[in-house]
Amino acid sequence: MKIAVATDDNNTVTGHVGRCNAFIIYTIDGSQITKKEIIENRFTHHQEHGHSHDEKEHSHGHSHSNLIDALKDCEALIFSHGGWRLVEDLKKNNIKPIMTDVVSADEAAAKYIAGELHSKEENVCNHH
C-alpha cells in the first residue's frame, strides 16, 4: 500500500494541495514503512498560473486529473485542509482525502497506518 502526504518542506503536512511543493510517498508493508520518497509537485497549475477565485476560471483551469494520475497508486492523500472539488475528485478516484491537524508528515503516516488518523471534515474549504 502507498499513501501520500502534501508537504512544503519534506517534513510537515501542508494545506493547499495545489500550491504544495512536493508529496511524500510512503510505501507500507503491513504496519511498517518500507520506503519514503519525495516527488516534486509538477501536477497542479496554481504555481504556474497564479490563483483565481473566479468560478469559471477555477472550474476550467484547475483540473485535478494530473494530480490524480500522479497519486493513482496511493490509497490516501493526507493534507491539512483543501477545497471541496479536490476532496470530491479524490473520492471519485478511490483516493481517501484525509485532512488532519497533525503537523509531522511521519507522525501522520504512522497514525494512518495504525488506524488512528481520522479526517477532519471541517477542514474542507467550500468558498471556491
Q: 70 φ, ψ to 5°?
A: -65, -30
pTM: 0.84
In tens digits, the chain (128 residues) has pLDDT values of 999 999 999 999 998 888 899 999 999 999 999 999 999 998 876 544 444 443 333 444 457 889 999 999 999 999 998 888 899 999 999 999 999 999 999 999 999 999 999 888 777 777 65
Distances (CA, A) of 59 to 33, 50, 120, 122: 36, 14, 25, 22
Nearest to 113 by CA among 39, 36, 24, 27: 27
Task: Say how many C-beta atoms besides its own lie within 10 A of residue 36's C-beta.
Answer: 14
* pLDDT value, residue 59: 43
Please answer whether residues 83 and 125 qualify as being in contact, where contact means their C-beta atoms are separated by less than 8 angstroms: yes
Q: What is the pLDDT of residue 50?
A: 45
SS3 (DSSP) at 18: helix
At 112, is the secondary structure helix, strand, or coil?
helix
- The dihedral over CA atoms of 98, 100, 102, 105, expressed in degrees to the nearest 10, equals 30
